Amino acid sequence: MHALTSFINHQFVSAFVAFALVGGFFMPLATNAAITSLNLTAPNGGEMWRGTSNITWTQVGGVAGDQVTLSLSTDGGLNYTTSIVTPSVDVTGLTYAWNTLFTAVGPLSDGSNYRVKIEAPGSIFDTSAANFRVDNTKPVTTATASFAPAPSGWYNIATGIPTITLTCADTGGSGCGTIRYAWDSDVYATYTVALTPSQGVHTLHFYSDDNATDALGVRNIEAPQDLVVKLDTVAPVPPPSLTLLDPI
């Protein structure tokens, strides 16, 4: 190692540089600066992730080419035994796009005990401060009429006019987001209260999303479902009666 002194920004700066003897000349060897600090910024606890989500961090001291490992805990931080990226990733990238559906152990199970660890040589590391959730399961929406139609499949004068209630169930754990519906070819609207069909034959389209998001903000969304409602509660109008006039 040799000490080099240079004049930078009106100050003398000294640095130690390694040299190798090549062809009778001393040539400097490239050296990587040591990573002195890592700060995992996401996931850091409380996130609800699906699909591909971005693991992000900040660092001090590292230069391009310096590597860090990313590992996963499935037990709330007790053990980090699953590698997220093999073998490592450049520390200066500051982000890693992680597909939770295609990991080293296959698709991750829905759950809320996940944490991530980022680590550099020399036991420099950081972990998620709290657990985050992974939810890759689409919610399911159910449409329920307040009562059944007549045996013919129609709601009529005898049955009355029903109301249609939409309910969402989310087994993935992030919770239902928004229920949307549309009658026939109308534009989808947000469901808030029970729906009342109009006279005639109409198709109710409906679906839900949940609260898990990926790197693009996209949620788990179920495919739209349909319910056909037939309603005729209008009494028929009798034809006008005929009055026979006496001939003159």
What is the rounded distance in angstroms from the CA atom of residue 81 to the CA atom of residue 75?
10
Specify whether the CB–CB gap between 180 and 222 falls below 8 A: no
How many angstroms separate the first and last alpha carbons of the chain?
136
Q: What is the pLDDT of residue 159?
A: 97
User: For 198, how many CA atoms within 13 A lie in the half-sphere containing its CB?
Assistant: 5
| Residue 8: pLDDT band with limits 50, 70, 90 | very low
- The stretches of 18-127 forming alpha helices (DSSP H) are none
The whole-number average pLDDT for the span 221-247 is 85
Q: What is the pLDDT of residue 238?
A: 80
pLDDT at 239 over 90: no
Q: What is the pLDDT of residue 236?
A: 85
Q: What is the pLDDT of residue 54?
A: 98
Q: Is 223 exposed, middle or buried (0-12, 13-18, 19+ CB in 10 A)?
A: exposed
pLDDT at 25 over 70: no
One-letter identity of residue 181: Y
Does an H or E element contain 5, and which?
A: strand 2-8
From the list 196, 209, 140, the residue with the least C-alpha distance to 165 is 196
The whole-number average pLDDT for the span 131-139 is 98
pLDDT cut 90: percent of the chain above it: 79
pLDDT at 120 over 70: yes
The whole-number average pLDDT for the span 33-58 is 96
Torsion on CA atoms 137, 143, 146, 152, rounded to nearest 10: -140
Q: What is the pLDDT of residue 244?
A: 61
pLDDT tens-digit series, residues 85-117: 989 999 999 999 999 999 988 999 999 999 999
